[in-house]
Amino acid sequence: MNHEDPVLLHTEGRIRHITLNRPRALNALNHTMVLRMAEALEAAEQDESVAAVLLTGAGERGLCAGGDIRAIRDDALAGGGTARDFWRDEYRLNARIARFPKPYVAIMDGIVMGGGVGVSAHGSVRIVTERSRIAMPETGIGFVPDVGGTYLLGRAPGELGTHLALTGEAVGAADALLCGLADHFVPSRELPGLIAALDVCATPADIVATAQRYAAAAPGGELAAQRDWIDSCYEAGTVEEIVERLADRGAPAAKEASVTILAKSPTSLKVTLEAVRRARRLDSLEAVLDQEFRVSSTAFTRPDIVEGVRAQIVDKDRNPRWNPAGLAEVTEADVARFFAPLGDGELGLGPGAPAAR
* Gap between the Cα atoms of 143 and 230, Å rounded: 23
For 24: left if phi > 0, alpha if psi spans -120 to 50, otherwise beta; the answer is alpha
- The rounded distance, in Å, linking the Cα atoms of 254 and 114 is 24
Sequence letter at residue 227: R
Contact 257, 232 (CB under 8 A): no
Do you know the residue count of the chain? Answer: 357
For 2, residues 6+ apart whose C-beta sits below 8 A from its C-beta are none
Per DSSP, what are the bridge partners of residue 126?
A: 106
Please count the other Cβ atoms lying within 10 Å of the Cβ belonging to residue 82: 14
Strand 7-12 to 125-128 pairing: unpaired
Three-state SS at 352: coil
Does 115 qualify as catalytic in the annotation? yes
Which DSSP symbol is given to 243? H
Known active-site residue 175 = no
Residue 102 DSSP one-character state: S
Q: How, if at all, do strands 15-20 and 7-12 pair?
A: antiparallel
8 A C-beta contact, residue 299 and residue 317: no
Phi, psi (deg, nearest 5) at residue 30: -120, 180
Q: Which of 114, 115, 118, 148 is flagged as catalytic?
A: 115
3-class SS of residue 322: coil
- Concerning whether 138 is annotated as a catalytic residue, the answer is yes
Q: Out of 57, 62, 66, 67, pick the active-site residue.
A: 67
Which residue in 68, 90, 109, 138 is the catalytic one?
Answer: 138
Find the catalytic residue in 68, 90, 109, 146: 146
ω into 266 cis (within 30 of 0): no
Pairwise CA distance, residues 48 & 44, whole Å: 8
Residues 6+ apart with CB under 8 A from 186: 127, 128, 129, 194, 211, 214, 215, 216
3 state SS of 177: helix
Can 146 be counted among the known catalytic residues?
yes
Active site residues: 67, 115, 138, 146
